[in-house]
Structure 1
Amino acid sequence: MIIAGLMTGTSADALDVVLAEFVDDSIAEATLGVRILASREVEFDHRLRADILRLLEPADVPLSLVSSVDARLGLFSAEALQQVCTELGVEADLVVSHGQTVRHDITDGTVTSTLQIGQPAWIAEVTGAPVLSDVRARDVAAGGQGAPLVGILDGLLLGNVEAPTAVLNLGGIANITVLAPERAPLAFDTGPANALIDVLARRITKGEEGFDRDGDLAARGRVDDDLLADLLADPYYRLPAPKSTGKELFHADYLDRFLGTRTNLGEHDAIATVTALTARTVADACRVHGVTTVIASGGGTRNPTLLGRLASELGPGVTLTGTEEAFGLPEGAKEALLMALLGWLSWNGLAGTEPNLTGAAHPSIAGRLSPGHGPLNLPAPREARPTHLRILPT
């Protein structure tokens, strides 16, 4: 079964597209095999990205903008996927579209609503394939955080571990899945990854760059210890897991509350400090759980200044590596592969969430289905979820 996974993360810079072929693995029982047929990062056009970023700021916006971005992002996703399928000469049996999270509202630690936009009907119309979307809402309805969902994928990739291991994603927000011997897996957002870094990168470059390319901007500055201490005092970091957050908390106005009284702070020192914040909060979260290996992915892994700071914060007793080395999975493909995996699970009647990972009252089958050009024809539900996912050679 060929499933397309489409992922738009909190950095809102591009659409990640993965075409994945899932097969029952003949080598090991209860193992699912997956072959990555294609992995692409398709950058948004300037107008679409600007409008998405506008929706992510904590300010009132016209409903017409929400509706417009919902349609334009859906059509953009459809055309990007269709182009990849045409290049490969294959068709997807199922498409899973995460869409863009524009709200993830939390009150007293409870997620009260989550909203992802990017109209799936456009994707179904253009590709002809059924589309699974809205993959977080059911977990939220069951009392869960709805995020991070990647714990299911991380557990299947890692299997049994001999020592506490964290699988880390450095997107706009940083999240980890912690697996340890004789302990239930745990997943949660640690805090900002690139969210605050990107804000300052856009300011420093006057909008020419949406991120700190190669960590060059932070490398020019020095960490301001007083500012870092104030940022670390945010109550979010002391909340117990499972927990989730987003740009509803970590946004430009939030950062300006700390920078406003520091008029003499250089812009490169500011971005060096928020880079140190990401590294420190990830390392602190890993330290709490006795992690000895960190397997990282996401856009933040392309920032050597951030990775160097993270390695330093983790210390010499912790191994920092990537998903390519650990699993044979390109770092840029992981989140979109998660979407494809959730599609395979839902298509086969299997839950894509676990209470220990999201805090929900029970496991849930993720998402809602939009028919393609033909009627939906789901297979008989499987009895059990695979225990391992193996990346197959292409």
Structure 2
Amino acid sequence: MTINTNSGNSNAPTYYIGLMSGTSADGIDLALVSFDQNHQLQHHASYYQAYSSETAEKIQSLYNPGNNEIDRTFALDVELARLFAATINAFLLQQQLDYSDIIAIGNHGQTVRHRPLITHPFTLQIGCNQTLATLTNIRVIGQFRRKDMALGGQGAPLVPAFHQTIFSENNNNDSNADVFVVNIGGIANLTFLPATDKQDICGYDSGPGNALMDDWFSLHNPDSKTKYDENGNWAKKGQIDDELLALFLSDNYFQLPHPKSTGREYFHLSWLKSQLAQFSHVSNEDVQATLTALTAITIVDAIKQHSPNNEATTKIYLCGGGAHNEILKSKINQQLELHYKNYELLLTNQKDIDGDQLEAIAFAWLAFAYDKKLLSSMSTVTGASKCCTLGNEYLP
């Protein structure tokens, strides 16, 4: 794709960069985005930088309490910022752009802790915004979750306001369809965009997405070239164990009402091993098949809470790494068939939004929303006392 550059002239900068590193801790996604006078978004280019196994291990080691946490966390905070900066600079070089072409970077950072339900709730995303701004010479908008939490919200999910601008059927004067946007990363989250204003928009984490499947696969396939169960091929070799599945589904998180959010600090390998303590007879492949069913069922159970089975069509857009898992998609489809007469299981690509880049694009939009003072949080989603404009500014 040809990029129109402003380099070397006095024109105003044109682009926003969205930067996202998710709970799977596999790497960094970048998206180059612009907005017209009507706030319509155009996605120009993308870039992906995988984490080394060493970096991924450093991140994952911080998901739960451990030794020397403060030193390890804030050393990694700067290390990741330097890696983010190097990735952005390589991306700009590839696109023949200069730092002066970029209005701002929307930086999510790397979540290492998310504790919305404790007495003094907090969330921690690392990848130092000030270091990133200084090393790229580009203004950074970051720390998007904290204001919502200060207002009593979960600080998650952050993207439903963005989803509304892209996916709402009401935007197309078609109010006959409930719409769900389901992002299957390490954790699965959904946004519900109701067909009518009789229901509120909402969004929350339905439970594990790829996290437990990835952990279990990596544990038992240490020599695999991938760190995940590609297309669900390993899960396909197993059978769902109904008793184990019932135990998984009995976890308190699935019984909580929304708003709610969770992360890898809850659904992790130790959680899984504790569930398996009485199931030594279940094969590794059967555990993987059961974990795949867990993700599918909890996603569809969340959808069913909001959209009744009626003559209207329910549309479900999938995105994130899990959208590439054919066995998982098949399980989601089977669950939907049990409940709905009329539904469409789609990919966000059918709205011209690359599902692998959706969250990076969203953080470019969140930076744009900060600059335009748009409300970018939804109190009906997070449980905050009011909606607000998210983010803080960091100057080079």
TM-score (norm 2): 0.89
Residue pairs, 1:62-141, within 5 angstroms: 62-90=69-97, 91-107=101-117, 112-141=121-150
Q: Distance in 1 between matches of 2:130 and 2:144?
A: 15
Report the residue type matching 1:87 in the other structure. Answer: Q
Q: Distance in 1 between matches of 2:133 and 2:383?
A: 32
Counterpart in the other structure of 1:309: 331
Q: Distance in 1 between matches of 2:128 and 2:116?
A: 24
Question: What secondary structure does 2:264 align onto?
Answer: coil
Q: Distance in 2 between matches of 1:231 and 1:207?
A: 28
Matched-pair contact (CA < 8 Å) for 2:134–2:395: no
Counterpart in the other structure of 1:8: 21
Q: Distance in 1 between matches of 2:84 and 2:263?
A: 22
Q: Distance in 1 between matches of 2:254 and 2:278?
A: 23
Structure 2 residue runs without a partner (length 5+): 1-13, 309-313
Residue pairs, 1:144-223, within 5 angstroms: 144-159=153-168, 160=170, 161-180=175-194, 181-182=196-197, 183-206=199-222, 208=224, 209-223=226-240
* RMSD of equivalent CA atoms: 1.5
Please report how far the alpha carbon of residue 158 of structure 1 lies from its aligned counterpart in structure 2 after TM superposition.
Answer: 2.2
Please report how far the alpha carbon of residue 207 of structure 1 lies from its aligned counterpart in structure 2 after TM superposition.
Answer: 6.0
Q: Distance in 2 between matches of 1:101 and 1:176?
A: 18
Counterpart in the other structure of 1:55: 62
Please report how far the alpha carbon of residue 107 of structure 1 lies from its aligned counterpart in structure 2 after TM superposition.
Answer: 2.5
Q: Distance in 1 between matches of 2:301 and 2:120?
A: 24
Q: Is 1:324 matched up with 2:349?
A: yes
Please report how far the alpha carbon of residue 329 of structure 1 lies from its aligned counterpart in structure 2 after TM superposition.
Answer: 0.5
Counterpart in the other structure of 1:296: 318
Q: Distance in 2 between matches of 1:61 and 1:228?
A: 36
Question: What secondary structure does 1:144 align onto?
Answer: coil
Counterpart in the other structure of 1:392: none
Q: Distance in 1 between matches of 2:390 and 2:128?
A: 17
Q: Distance in 2 between matches of 1:61 and 1:212?
A: 33
Matched-pair contact (CA < 8 Å) for 1:82–1:126: no
Q: Distance in 2 between matches of 1:305 and 1:72?
A: 36
Q: Distance in 1 between matches of 2:301 and 2:15?
A: 39
Residues 324, 134 of structure 1: alpha-carbon distance in 2 compared, 3 angstrom cutoff:
same
Deviates more, 1:59-68 or 1:74-83: 59-68
Counterpart in the other structure of 2:265: 248
Q: Distance in 1 between matches of 2:60 and 2:274?
A: 20
Question: What secondary structure does 2:203 align onto?
Answer: strand
Report the residue type matching 2:323 in the other structure. Answer: T
Q: 2:53 aligns with which of 25, 37, 46?
A: 46
Counterpart in the other structure of 1:274: 291
Residues 217, 229 of structure 1: alpha-carbon distance in 2 compared, 3 angstrom cutoff:
same
Please report how far the alpha carbon of residue 228 of structure 1 lies from its aligned counterpart in structure 2 after TM superposition.
Answer: 0.2
Q: Distance in 1 between matches of 2:110 and 2:204?
A: 19
Matched-pair contact (CA < 8 Å) for 2:162–2:376: no
Deviations 1:66-116 (A, max 9, x none): 1221111111111111111111122321011111111111336x8711010
Structure 1 residue runs without a partner (length 5+): 26-31, 373-394
Figure out how many residues of one structure are paired with residues of the other and give that number. 364
Report the residue type matching 2:59 in the other structure. Answer: I
Please report how far the alpha carbon of residue 122 of structure 1 lies from its aligned counterpart in structure 2 after TM superposition.
Answer: 2.7
Report the residue type matching 2:354 in the other structure. Answer: P
Deviations 1:226-255 (A, max 9, x none): 000000001211211111111121111111
Report the residue type matching 1:308 in the other structure. Answer: S
Q: Is 1:230 matched up with 2:255?
A: no
Q: 1:361 aligns with which of 365, 381, 385?
A: 385
